[in-house]
Structure 1
């Protein structure tokens, strides 16, 4: 249960003063549903109203706070003109300018002869100082009512800035005094304030420097969030290790046959990853390991060796891929190697029907079938294994954690190996996969040719088409990837359809089109035609990003490359360079590029190392963008910025590890305070794994 001390922070936004149902909905869209979400919604700027000159000394273009006497009103001669209020202060004249004034409101606001304090941006117009629609107006005796420094928050249309500021202030006034969960020595060393003080200071910046993520209050808050994340992962991992596992150790007989059949020797990092996996499988606890490797680094072979280790010990193994194309491709890659080892492998996707499907299900359930490759069809209730010991999950970020658990629930104490070809920066690996051990494949297998990458402005499209013609005449096959259009599948499709028509006019009917809206079998048919050489050019949206293997394809053209993430461009580039011939990747870009976009394309041109690319992507675009947070299962941080606070993440990981070693059930006074921290950052699931107490 959430501790009672946090109840005020988790009340709905509609209960805050000044936010009715309509405005609460807007504030919720901006920040989140609870009062605490407004506490995490930090200012991004400020307005300084402390500058208070006389009229004669006020420079144009600045925000100024002036004390003036109302002398006269100059109503407009026609409704399109403004109403002006003439004021003086003994040194000059200030005109307050208002458009679309209705009724007698302005006369009531500015009675003749009254002294008022007005604040806003001033401009000189024909020797007269003007202020259009002042931001703040109060009688001189209420001068203190004007905020000297006003925080400016990220906004959403329809929600008045004043209303949002008032709501945030209401939340800050009700902040509870929470027990300190940070180590006192560490706090002292960093000279960080307490939690409540840090939050109040972050919302009340005194100058621009206070808005930086490196100020003590903001660092403190970022560290709280990172510690909650790392502690939650450490607790989940601890619970995982407490679950009974079983030792799985094969004889090596089948693996030796596969090693002999491979056309190349395993790379050093493949061998290292396998040693780590075998050690995990042989231990009496369940394996949960992430295998990270660039496109073409040989993850599939590592997965097969791990699966054969289970088969040698008399068990079964399954490999799950996110798409049907990828599942079938894995099966095709593995089939000759399995055949060399004398081991049977079968495919199970949504497409298998009738007798063939029943046969696979019967043989998996009886244990007669040692290896199965499939899509999420493997989760279905009717799928059963006699003795599943290892589940391999490819492209983890396409699946949720619950799906991982569903598959491992198909056996007793199942070991789980998760693979991804998306290079993830180290900091993101820690935040997203901190509950897993990690192996990385850092070399390309022998025989992989480097891909020559060039950037070309889109206004040279006709030259590019002519170059593609020359390549096709030499027997090459070409991918042509169309741009991401505002994250809209409908528009993506329009862009791809248009480019398909344009290229057909040039290449005839040897141009195919695939996109996400097509039915699976239709998509597969076009892919097969391209793979078999019936098509020369394949126009596609990003559906080809993962797992399509056509060694004859040697040219990749990516339109509007600046709209893609670096990791995604790198994935797409990995579709070529898979055969004997030299390959090329052309990144077509909009000539009006931003400096950041130019930098990103340069990174891609300069290196093929996916991990270098991922780190650079994180630096340039921030964590939320690197994998597309929403679809990748990465946690979203509100206070921490991994590009800035990466060093704090490493400390938080070590701190969490120590906490769990010394106080696994969080029973000490600090442990109890850390429980509050977990609930504060809505890591409830981790808090619930603790034994009650």
Structure 2
């Protein structure tokens, strides 16, 4: 498949545009603009009102004014480097045009005395006299029509000027073809969106402030094009994966029942619903690709275990992957009682397994004796072979890229994939990152989880905090103390974990306080964690290595030092480490006063709610999409026009539209399908184009 001919002019070299030479083409690359198409999607971010006035008396300086003037006397600078002044008069008053470092002969030609000119620029008052320094535009009266009354202002990079960008954008607009419509006609009519060519022209010629807002019809349309193209790509990937034959795994329910009977409580409605959705996917002949999204403490582990049990009941095997060894060991600990009750052999494989022990595990895996394997990415190694892998559960997806997801899928030729995340993601972002997956959400807390009381405490009250910690420890309670950084640096006065550890040990006594941080060798880290889990140490001083998944039901106090420098989602994850047992739990957010407004907003949001989804929506509003999941590693697409924070509702529309289109026209051969192919080429959705090519 090759690019449709109608798009050739938009994908030519930039230097083919009038007014763009090799040097300015290099400057444009600084804006990510390498082809005429990119200029069409380089939208102005603001505009300057250049409405014609009779006189500068009609405006209040300092502001931009556009007036016709008669040119008066020229006053060259008295000293070198001084201003060159030209007296001018509009319909009502006199003022001056001022130039610095300008050549007199050039100004004489540009503004001949006695002639009329249209000037537009910023009017300011200096020493009681109105003046316009370096007018933006100087035109002959009959060229006035060339000046838009509302002039767009473009983003710039080194080596570019507004004039150059506007001229290049104008030249690119001249090449914008009239393309067939790819948006569903009913949707376009309902939203009142213009056709593509009209939309592109409109965004480059705003008539007023409203045209620059994300809600303007032309901008909404172009944003929708991007979101829709992205969702078509994800839907094609999903459709292709669904064509990939899976192995139907139908459970008998026997092992699941044994596991559930061993629990002191019944699963929540949300857990039962998620298990039913997963079981239906596993029973179907198509491969499952499901995301299990649950807030901190919503009981994802039980759902994952029941899914793994289905794989074993059906005569196959399951694997559970965790991003770190600490987490893998923890999954092993939490799954072990369930596996024992169900009669499933469970084992752990990490990078630490060596020699004979490792060989024995691999043999038991290949023969099918091990029903469920828990592991780190060591499971990806070449010599790890399953007898019959049916289900892969991946914990904390954002640590594994899409590529790794596919690699794991390849281990069991047709293994179903269940991805779990404890990071509640706002719907618009979930659709952008996981639009190719089906989603199950756990939105209830299982019984036995107590709400966590959250309080804000100034760092100045450190001594009070330490003394109340001493009482709590004496009563047999356990606490986490989270520090922001590991090594002391002169620039950053954070209490490093080492120093805080020494301080608390002196205050609370030897053997009471443990320490884990990122610089420790894994074996030491695991040993320190194990002592805390066993209750030998009462207080664990840690950097954020404990953020995800650590489970110590007896720990009921969480102190987060310098909480204001953590992100909302991170704070929510950390707080989720307590409140896992029956004891009333507390989370102390210690901050360094005075708090900046954003820090205060984060900490108060956290104090007011435990709902991870509400927190994530607030986080999105405050930080923006890229920061929220760490764009570099999240695989979050970069949109040129669409704004995920302000246009999130469009994403859901785009997803249902894309899925509906592909259900009706899987090969995109209908007239609308053909138009969508043009859209995919226009927006560089190469992955989609390859998928259609393959399909």
What TM-score, normalized by structure 2, do the two folds share?
A: 0.89
SS in 2 for 1:347: strand
Contact 1:496 1:541 in 2 (8 A): no
Deviates more, 1:85-94 or 1:226-235: 85-94
Find the counterpart in structure 1 of residue 226 from structure 2.
225
Structure 1 distance, partners of 2:56, 2:118, is 12
Contact 2:252 2:314 in 1 (8 A): yes
Structure 2 distance, partners of 1:516, 1:34, is 45
Structure 1 distance, partners of 2:483, 2:5, is 53
Residue correspondence of structure 1 range 177-576 to structure 2 within 5 A: 177-456=178-457, 460-475=458-473, 476-482=477-483, 498=496, 500-501=498-499, 504-505=502-503, 507-508=505-506, 514-516=516-518, 519-528=521-530, 530-531=532-533, 538-576=540-578
State the shift of 1:170 in Å. Answer: 2.8
SS in 1 for 2:361: helix
Residue correspondence of structure 1 range 78-117 to structure 2 within 5 A: 79=81, 82-89=83-90, 91-99=92-100, 109-117=110-118
Partner deviation per Cα, 1:116-154 (whole Å, 9 max, x = no partner)? 333222122333102233322334454444443221233
Partner deviation per Cα, 1:217-269 (whole Å, 9 max, x = no partner)? 11211222222222222222222222222221222232222222223322221
SS in 2 for 1:134: coil
SS in 1 for 2:676: helix
TM-aligned CA distance change 1:564 to 1:11, over 3 Å = farther
SS in 2 for 1:631: helix
Are residue 649 (structure 1) and residue 647 (structure 2) matched? no
TM-aligned CA distance change 1:114 to 1:514, over 3 Å = farther
SS in 1 for 2:404: helix
State the shift of 1:436 in Å. Answer: 2.0
Partner deviation per Cα, 1:450-493 (whole Å, 9 max, x = no partner)? 1111234xxx31204531332144215444445599xxx99899
Structure 2 distance, partners of 1:525, 1:29, is 50
TM-aligned CA distance change 1:526 to 1:121, over 3 Å = farther
State the shift of 1:574 in Å. Answer: 0.9
State the shift of 1:376 in Å. Answer: 1.6
Contact 1:31 1:41 in 2 (8 A): no
Find the counterpart in structure 2 of residue 609 from structure 1.
611
Residue correspondence of structure 1 range 48-87 to structure 2 within 5 A: 48-68=49-69, 69-77=71-79, 79=81, 82-87=83-88
State the shift of 1:64 in Å. Answer: 0.5
Contact 1:98 1:133 in 2 (8 A): yes
Find the counterpart in structure 2 of residue 667 from structure 1.
669
Residue correspondence of structure 1 range 159-170 to structure 2 within 5 A: 159-170=160-171
Partner deviation per Cα, 1:434-461 (whole Å, 9 max, x = no partner)? 32222111121221111111234xxx31
Structure 1 distance, partners of 2:530, 2:73, is 83
Structure 2 distance, partners of 1:399, 1:537, is 31
State the shift of 1:34 in Å. Answer: 4.2
Structure 1 unaligned spans of 5+: none
TM-aligned CA distance change 1:612 to 1:515, over 3 Å = same
SS in 2 for 1:163: helix
Contact 1:94 1:130 in 2 (8 A): yes
Structure 1 distance, partners of 2:47, 2:207, is 8
Structure 1 distance, partners of 2:124, 2:202, is 32
State the shift of 1:685 in Å. Answer: 1.9
Find the counterpart in structure 1 of residue 689 from structure 2.
687
Deviates more, 1:531-540 or 1:28-37: 531-540
Structure 2 distance, partners of 1:12, 1:245, is 45
Partner deviation per Cα, 1:618-660 (whole Å, 9 max, x = no partner)? 3444433432333223333332334443443333333223322
Partner deviation per Cα, 1:312-347 (whole Å, 9 max, x = no partner)? 222111011122221121112112322233322222
TM-aligned CA distance change 1:661 to 1:96, over 3 Å = same
State the shift of 1:114 in Å. Answer: 4.7
Deviates more, 1:174-183 or 1:12-21: 12-21
